[in-house]
A and B are shown apart, each in its own frame.
Chain A
Amino acid sequence: MKRGDLIIITSTLCVAIVMMILFIDVKGDKQTYDVVGYHGREEVFRHSLVEDEQYVFEYGEAYNELHIRNGEAFMAHANCPDKSCTYTKPISQPGQIIVCLPHNIIIEVHGKGESEIDALSQ
């Protein structure tokens, strides 16, 4: 262990903590939020966060079951190898996401009507 190593490790941890603080979102009104599901870049699902709903993403072998319950969205079932999406905590704030990398699926919470992705890709 040399001095350079310590500099690298401490600077990395500092950057990580600063980023964590920056990414914390301000809590807002749940009525105005939508849960949006993407398969790749394509929007395939959009539903209000306050109404309970169940949606199944099925693309060939890929199977993911999204539930919206009590103002929270979570992945109930998935048949991907790592299943990290089902272990992700339920999301309810804008900017929070659930990702299934093997199946190319992203679940996001958005403000109603706004679609950042569309604006970006235009």
Chain B
Amino acid sequence: MGRERVKSMPYPSKNKSGIVGPRKIILLSLLVATAMILSYVDSMFPLFLMVPVPGVKLGLSNVVVVTAIYLFDKRDVLLMILVKSVLVSLLFGSPITFMYSLSGGIASLTAMLVVINLFYKYISPIGLSVVGAIWHNIGQLAMATIILGNRNIFVYLPYLMIIGVISGVGVGCVVLYLERYKRIIIKC
């Protein structure tokens, strides 16, 4: 039974990690800080040299979001994403970056929550992060369609989806690796 618990990450509906009170706030803010650094590294990585598609990103900060989905309640994760979008845009971006990051974040969070609530028995963090990456792209393209008033921008979706699958698998592996240290994370 203990082995089973390690193999498939359980997804109880409430209070998954048992972290409450100030410790929850501290852990959430640490996750936000990690996500900010990861998105900064993300913006420095010259992926667009290899794939010249607007908005192409590794999506490293998805590691934090997927981990948070397994640790916390959906409200806490939503709050984390909002804080992260605001802070990242204030520090490294512009109001336009904020709108793109917010739409992508909310779309990917919604998709991941739907998927994990429906299929948590059949899915590991790898599949979950792939879903998150793809819906992040779809959300951003939808926002670009609204801002630019041009649907043709969706021609980039297939390329973004393929990149999303590759980076999503990588992100999922990182989250699986973090799962080993879940007990330490929860106890500290």
Contact = CB atoms under 8 A, between A and B. Distances in A.
A, B from the same assembly: yes
B96 A104 contact: yes
Given A5-B127, A101-B55, A101-B96, A16 B169 contact: no
B7 to A, nearest CB: 9
A12 B149 contact: no
A1 B148 contact: no
B148 A9 contact: no
A75 B8 CA distance: 49
A72 B80 CA distance: 45
A38 interface: yes
Interface in B6-44: 8, 43
B90 interface: no
B65 to A, nearest CB: 17
A16 B161 contact: yes
B130 A99 contact: no
Interface string B104-120: 00000000000000010
Most A CB atoms within 10 A — which of B53, B150, B161, B169? B150
Contacts of B157: 16, 19
B22 to A, nearest CB: 35
B127 A2 contact: yes
Interface of B: 8, 43, 48-49, 52-56, 94, 96-97, 100, 119, 122-124, 126-127, 130-131, 134, 144, 147-153, 155-159, 161-162, 164-165, 169, 172
A2 B124 contact: yes
Contact of B119 (A4, A19, A85): A4
7 shortest A-B CB distances, which residue pairs?
A5-B127, A4-B122, A41-B149, A87-B52, A4-B123, A16-B158, A16-B161
A20 B157 CA distance: 9
Contact of A101 (B100, B119, B126): B100
Given A15-B161, A17-B158, A97-B155, A84 B149 contact: no
Contact of A106 (B48, B55, B148): B148
B150 A108 contact: yes
Given A84-B52, A97-B150, 13 more contacts: A8-B123, A9-B127, A9-B169, A13-B161, A15-B158, A19-B158, A84-B56, A99-B156, A101-B54, A106-B152, A108-B152, A117-B150, A120-B149
Contacts of A104: 96, 147-148
B158 A4 contact: no
23 contacts: A1-B124, A2-B123, A2-B127, A3-B122, A5-B123, A5-B127, A8-B130, A12-B161, A13-B165, A16-B159, A19-B157, A38-B148, A84-B53, A87-B49, A88-B54, A95-B152, A100-B54, A102-B94, A102-B96, A104-B147, A104-B148, A106-B150, A120-B151
Contacts of B161: 12-13, 15-16, 19
